[in-house]
A and B are shown apart, each in its own frame.
Chain A
Amino acid sequence: EAGVAQSPRYKIIEKRQSVAFWCNPISGHATLYWYQQILGQGPKLLIQFQNNGVVDDSQLPKDRFSAERLKGVDSTLKIQPAKLEDSAVYLCASSLATGTSGRVNEQFFGPGTRLTVL
């Protein structure tokens, strides 16, 4: 079974530039997540989709970050304009749909995109 695919793997940009990341989840996984992981910290959830609807985006800096999941499959995360503090690894994960009992299923992570903002 193919895992979660992400591209690019690395990106270096100047502050105030724009950048976009792409994610292709595991086939059949309804839930897709974008996390930001700053060096030395755990992943922080930015946005969670169930199919193509947003479940949670409470920690997404909406003045500069946007994400979409067209047709409930692939997803893109965009930063515009980037700041120095956006330097981090951006992880995409997917899982089977979250259960009605509140169960959060195991998540499958991609390799991440390492972003450096100069």
Chain B
Amino acid sequence: SQKIEQNSEALNIQEGKTATLTCNYTNYSPAYLQWYRQDPGRGPVFLLLIRENEKEKRKERLKVTFDTTLKQSLFHITASQPADSATYLCALASDYKLSFGAGTTVTVRA
């Protein structure tokens, strides 16, 4: 069966450190992978998209890698700030639709 697994444990990090989140998948052949941020009581907000033929994508302090051999994406937040505290969702795009993981909650301590 198809599965998308993100870090099951919440991530607590010190301000200024790098947060690294993982997204592993099985029985998918995604053409694209997207990352979203979700704050409590709000809908997800799009952050980054990476194609299957791209290894890495960057946007400001965010970096995403995509390894179709390992069936894994890594999401990095560098120089983290308390404002980065949120739940981060990975989403796989195949067959013209998105399938979401359960998300990883990140808390950045000042």
Count of B residues near A, CB < 8 Å?
A: 24
User: Would A43 and B96 be within 8 Å (CB), given that A103-B31, A103-B32, A106-B34 are in contact?
Assistant: no
Kindly report which residue of chain A lies nearest to residue B93, judged by CB atoms. Answer: A104
Which of B42, B96, B100, B103 touches A102 (beta carbons < 8 Å)? Answer: B96
Interface residue SS majority, chain A: loop
Interface residues of A in 45-103 (CB under 8 A from B): 45, 48, 55-56, 91, 93, 98, 101-103
CB pair A93–B43 under 8 Å, yes or no, is: yes
Query: Considering residues B45, B97, B102, B103, which has the most beta carbons from chain A within 10 angstroms of its beta carbon?
Result: B97
Interface residue SS majority, chain B: strand
Q: Mark A28-55, 1 if CB is under 8 A from B, else 0.
A: 0000000000001111110010000001
CA A42 to CA B37, docked complex, whole Å = 11
Q: Is residue B99 contacting chain A, with contact meaning CB distance below 8 A?
A: yes
Kindly report which residue of chain B lies nearest to residue A38, judged by CB atoms. Answer: B102
Q: Mark B66-103, 1 if CB is under 8 A from A, else 0.
A: 00000000000000000000000101011111111111
Q: Is residue A22 contacting chain B, with contact meaning CB distance below 8 A?
A: no
CA A110 to CA B38, docked complex, whole Å = 11
Kindly report which residue of chain B lies nearest to residue A109, judged by CB atoms. Answer: B43
CB pair A111–B96 under 8 Å, yes or no, is: no
**How far apart are A74's CB and chain B's nearest CB, in angstroms?**
17
CB pair B34–A104 under 8 Å, yes or no, is: yes
Kindly report which residue of chain A lies nearest to residue B103, judged by CB atoms. Answer: A42
CB pair B102–A42 under 8 Å, yes or no, is: yes
User: Would A42 and B32 be within 8 Å (CB), given that A104-B93, A109-B45, A111-B43 are in contact?
Assistant: no
CB pair A104–B97 under 8 Å, yes or no, is: yes
CB pair A103–B89 under 8 Å, yes or no, is: no
CB pair B93–A91 under 8 Å, yes or no, is: no
**How far apart are A102's CB and chain B's nearest CB, in angstroms?**
5
Query: Considering residues A43, A45, A48, A107, which has the most beta carbons from chain B within 10 angstroms of its beta carbon?
Result: A43
Which residues of B approach A to under 8 Å, CB–CB? 4, 31-32, 34, 41-46, 49, 89, 91, 93-103
7 examples of A-B residue contacts, CB within 8 angstroms: A42-B103, A43-B89, A45-B98, A48-B96, A103-B93, A104-B93, A104-B98
